[in-house]
Structure 1
Amino acid sequence: MSDLKNRAVRLEATNHDGSLLGKTVSSTKFASGKNSGFAFADILFAIDLGNEIVLGDAFPDWRGNLYDIQMIPDLSTFVEWKPGLDSVIGDYWLKDGTPVPICPRNLVRKLVARLAVLGYTATVAVEIEATLFEESVQEARKLGYRDLTPLGGGTGATYHLARSKDWVDYMEAVVGRLDRLGIAWEAWTDEAAAGQTELNLPPTDPITLADSWARTRQVMREVAFEQDHTVTFMAKPTAGYGQGAHLNLSLQSDGVNRFFAEDGPSPLMRHAVGGLLATMAGNTSLALPQITSYRRLVDFTGPPTVVSWGENNKTAAVRAITGHPKYSRLEYRLPGADVNPYLALAGVLAGVLAGVEREIEPPGQVTDMAWCLPDSAGVPRIPDTMSKAAAALGADPLLREYLGDEFVDFWVASRRWEWMEFHTKGGDPFAELSQWESTRYFEFP
């Protein structure tokens, strides 16, 4: 940990919606509370993205009392964010010393520990997609986040090196900032939509990945602000292409990748696939958290649309990469760019654990294109609305076991509230993208 003299410290943690929340304290204040924690009002779990109090959720203790919970810093995450400011990520704890059951980071911790009991560690990586615009965030707000100018040119492409210097300058500044913070990255590239980029974070343990993912989004925002541009992780910021956050996962024991087998998926990989597919309908609510998330689910445009898996099949929801002792892994292609990093990983780890502990065998893999499969194929569609996905999560006994009833009930209630806000405050379900969605989601999470 760096010298705290004459330095402020920013305390960081996400809420359920994936927004990075926190407060900045003096070095003296941080020194006094770095072990015991810092008080946060638990109402932070009861405010929606429109700053309204959410009614009807299942996290009951705050009702009428606004109790404090403790944010206890994880000192292993302490970094110098910039001259004069350090930052540290933490978890939320109740005053009796137990973890807040709906704290996203604590959920991941719980599942990592359960995996360790089986003798496994998970290695995960993520592909972060975002869209960049020429306008500053102040200009974007005045325009209602509509009709913005894509940074780097108005045409979409993939892997092209023809982006203009402003787009390249932005990405180089982002990875330069990541380097200074010690956040590892693997690659960045132009993506399919105009102004869109993909930034890949390399394989690591789930907590480190989620922390790096949350901080990378913050870095990308801050660099955009500094360059008078704007960036969004909204699942579909325009009527064109959407954007996702593919997760890659493997399980190890004794330093060996247990997803590898000479002749294709190992039995452990097959069971992990079985669990991921068995929980996919319910997990959709976590992977696609907002109204706009479901506008991505269009055949032929990239995201999966059916509960499916296949070896090296990028049209399936779970892609199995096989045949290599190091790189054999599963790619979970469902999450949108707007997902909470911690909840995305919690849902995937829960599905994998369910499959491994119960030795769930997956259905037959899809060997052709998974998009536009007829009903006669017997492959179920992924829930395509927020209400369908929330109902599936509420009814999923496996996810209830691994994530906990209190979290599941809380999350389902929060999504029903979000659905009600959309349908009563100006959202248009028949629009390709409504103004209500742009206003609510463009800057968040």
Structure 2
Amino acid sequence: MTAREVERWCEENRITSIEIQATNLDGTFIGKTLSVGKFLGGLAQGFAFADVVFGNDLGNFPVLGFAFPAWRGELEDIFLRPDLDTLCVWRPGKAAVIGDFWRPDGRPVGVCPRNLLRRAAAEAAERGFDAMAAIEIEATVFEESIQEARRVAYDGMTPLGGYAGSAYVLAKSSDWREYLECVEQRLRDIGIDWEAWNDEAAAGQVEVNVAMGSVVDVADRWARTRQVMREVAYDLGRTVTFMAKWSNSWGQASHLNLSLVDEDGNAFFDPAGPSPVMRQFIGGVMQAITGTTSVALPFITSYRRMLPLEGPPTTATWGIGNKTAAIRAITGHPKQSRIEYRLPGADANMYLVSAAVLGAGLFGIRNEVEPPPAFEGMAWCRPEGTELLPTTILQAATALETDKVLREVLGPEFVDYWLGTRRWEWIAFHTMGGADAAAGLTAWERNRYFELA
């Protein structure tokens, strides 16, 4: 769209303001609201944000203790360039558009999550593939308003729909259905394809499935769907959280489904099982699986999910149709053949997770990496011959630091910077009001992650 076409679109839709949207490294949805005139005037250069977008932690402290990239340190402006393919009517009179961060000299910011994913998708395209994805979003909804939640420091709240925890239960009260039906309507209004929603395992927990599409588009839908779930909760006087584990109940996840499509169709499909392309893709993903844990489980609380028999994978395994493994291969169907990466918490930034998994999978194809044998049986409780996935934020950082695949596909600037931020997160937990991680979920974690993770 040209600036004139955007202007006409705004006039036709009676738009008076435009929200520019992105995520920071921690997955928090960020942005600004602009007048239509300001937006039209900045389409070429983008819109200035201070480098604290990627330089402050969730407590709004400057992240310190490691080398800064060239774009950080002097509060230099970086610029959010809107992707006009994402322009939509967000609410009556208000539009929204998602963008990527660029440096003043025209180079992409190397730690921008969407830039990293677009780069991986571009590599797939160069190899003749369209990278396709779908994301399952889990969250917990509460009866209390966000103001009430803040007053009680997010503790002792009432799960919407009752305390009975199971899965797929339809015997829910009307207030639970009202929330999800309002989310469903908002997604339709914005133009986001969704497939299903349902009750999940824990009290108050829900799952919303974002439909299959191109990997960057689906990551955009993931970010916007979570924001819609928040806005609908606030409108109805409710609260929602995407913490990986907000209590001692079951944790919550963001499962990533990925496949590659070429001119002949789904490149992962073979009637006999995983195709050669799928096998090599899995080979690359498995080679980087322990390092990828750092982006899949980004926070202190993320690792509280890592309990055998509670759902998340705990071993570095893959299997055909095996939901206890970290990578589940779905095979034998010309359209549905795919991998499901089951480790990410609900608090993961899925731009980063998608970039890491897609990049590692393409590395496997490029280098014809064969995966280890598919695991058969239950992969929980560390059966013989399996490797445990990292169980702390520092273990995962160490695994990423030594991972040559992810350093190649994500770039050294991102890897080194991300490692610094995760080690800072560990320091913050132990010096700013947290406690021994073995002591159970802390007030520090709820205050830090409940609203912003």
Q: TM-score range by the shorter chain?
A: over 0.9
CA contact (8 A) 1:43 1:62 kept: no
- Tell me the SS of whatever aligns to 1:61: coil
Is 1:381 paired with 2:426?
A: no
Partner residue of 1:421? Answer: 428
Partner residue of 2:205? Answer: 196
- CA deviation string 1:239-288 (max 9, x = no partner): 11000011111111105101111111111111111111110111000000
Over the matched positions of the two proteins, sequence identity in percent amounts to 55
Is 1:217 paired with 2:210?
A: no
Tell me the CA shift for residue 64 of structure 1. 4.6
Q: Equivalent of 2:439, from 412, 415, 431? A: 431
Partner residue of 1:343? Answer: 352
What is the identity, as a one-letter code, of the residue corresponding to 2:451?
A: E
Q: Equivalent of 1:110, from 109, 119, 123? A: 119
CA contact (8 A) 1:58 1:406 kept: no
Partner residue of 2:3? Answer: none
The separation in 2 between residues aligned to 1:151 and 1:45, in whole angstroms, is: 34
Equivalences for residues 79-98 of structure 1 within 5 A: 79-98=88-107
CA contact (8 A) 2:21 2:31 kept: yes
The separation in 1 between residues aligned to 2:420 and 2:130, in whole angstroms, is: 32
Equivalences for residues 290-369 of structure 1 within 5 A: 290-369=299-378
Could you say if the C-alpha distance between residues 268 and 441 of structure 1 is closer, same or farther in structure 2, counting changes exceeding 3 Å?
same
What is the identity, as a one-letter code, of the residue corresponding to 1:108?
A: L
Could you say if the C-alpha distance between residues 419 and 172 of structure 1 is closer, same or farther in structure 2, counting changes exceeding 3 Å?
same
Is 1:33 paired with 2:42?
A: yes
What is the identity, as a one-letter code, of the residue corresponding to 1:440?
A: R
- Tell me the SS of whatever aligns to 1:114: helix
The separation in 2 between residues aligned to 1:70 and 1:425, in whole angstroms, is: 31
- CA deviation string 1:30-72 (max 9, x = no partner): 1111222111111211100001011124443355521111111
- CA deviation string 1:132-182 (max 9, x = no partner): 000111111111111110000111111110111111000000010000000
Partner residue of 1:407? Answer: 414
- Tell me the SS of whatever aligns to 1:186: strand
Higher mean C-alpha deviation, range 43-52 or range 365-374: 365-374
The separation in 2 between residues aligned to 1:197 and 1:6, in whole angstroms, is: 33
- Tell me the SS of whatever aligns to 1:60: coil
Could you say if the C-alpha distance between residues 57 and 18 of structure 1 is closer, same or farther in structure 2, counting changes exceeding 3 Å?
farther
CA contact (8 A) 2:71 2:78 kept: no
- CA deviation string 1:373-420 (max 9, x = no partner): 24xx22110000000101111111110000000000000000000000
Equivalences for residues 45-124 of structure 1 within 5 A: 45-62=54-71, 64-124=73-133
What is the identity, as a one-letter code, of the residue corresponding to 2:418?
A: W
What is the identity, as a one-letter code, of the residue corresponding to 2:267?
A: R
- Tell me the SS of whatever aligns to 1:439: helix
Equivalences for residues 247-286 of structure 1 within 5 A: 247-286=256-295
- Tell me the SS of whatever aligns to 1:319: strand
Partner residue of 2:249? Answer: 240
Tell me the CA shift for residue 226 of structure 1. 0.6
CA contact (8 A) 2:18 2:33 kept: yes
The root-mean-square deviation of aligned C-alpha atoms, in Å, is 1.1
Is 1:227 paired with 2:236?
A: yes
Q: Provide runs of 4+ in structure 1 moved above 6 Å.
A: none
- CA deviation string 1:97-124 (max 9, x = no partner): 1111111100011111111121111110
Tell me the CA shift for residue 365 of structure 1. 1.4
Tell me the CA shift for residue 203 of structure 1. 0.7
Equivalences for residues 146-157 of structure 1 within 5 A: 146-157=155-166
Give the alignment's TM-score, normalised by structure 2.
Answer: 0.96
Tell me the CA shift for residue 353 of structure 1. 1.1
What is the identity, as a one-letter code, of the residue corresponding to 1:423?
A: H
Could you say if the C-alpha distance between residues 365 and 84 of structure 1 is closer, same or farther in structure 2, counting changes exceeding 3 Å?
same
- Tell me the SS of whatever aligns to 1:393: helix
Partner residue of 1:394? Answer: 401
Higher mean C-alpha deviation, range 237-246 or range 347-356: 347-356
- Tell me the SS of whatever aligns to 2:223: helix
- The runs of 5 or more residues in structure 1 that have no matched partner are none
The separation in 2 between residues aligned to 1:256 and 1:64, in whole angstroms, is: 47
Partner residue of 1:185? Answer: 194
What is the identity, as a one-letter code, of the residue corresponding to 1:421?
A: A
CA contact (8 A) 2:51 2:72 kept: no
What is the identity, as a one-letter code, of the residue corresponding to 2:10?
A: D
Tell me the CA shift for residue 431 of structure 1. 2.3
- Tell me the SS of whatever aligns to 1:28: helix
CA contact (8 A) 1:61 1:67 kept: no
- The runs of 5 or more residues in structure 2 that have no matched partner are 1-5
What is the identity, as a one-letter code, of the residue corresponding to 1:334?
A: L
Is 1:442 paired with 2:450?
A: yes
What is the identity, as a one-letter code, of the residue corresponding to 2:233?
A: A
- Tell me the SS of whatever aligns to 2:101: strand
CA contact (8 A) 1:246 1:333 kept: yes
The separation in 1 between residues aligned to 2:67 and 2:211, in whole angstroms, is: 36
What is the identity, as a one-letter code, of the residue corresponding to 2:439?
A: A
What is the identity, as a one-letter code, of the residue corresponding to 1:207?
A: V
Aligned residues: 443
Tell me the CA shift for residue 6 of structure 1. 5.7
The separation in 1 between residues aligned to 2:300 and 2:44, in whole angstroms, is: 39
The separation in 2 between residues aligned to 1:209 and 1:59, in whole angstroms, is: 31
The separation in 1 between residues aligned to 2:264 and 2:236, in whole angstroms, is: 43
Give the alignment's TM-score, normalised by structure 1.
Answer: 0.98
The separation in 1 between residues aligned to 2:44 and 2:394, in whole angstroms, is: 41
CA contact (8 A) 2:82 2:99 kept: yes
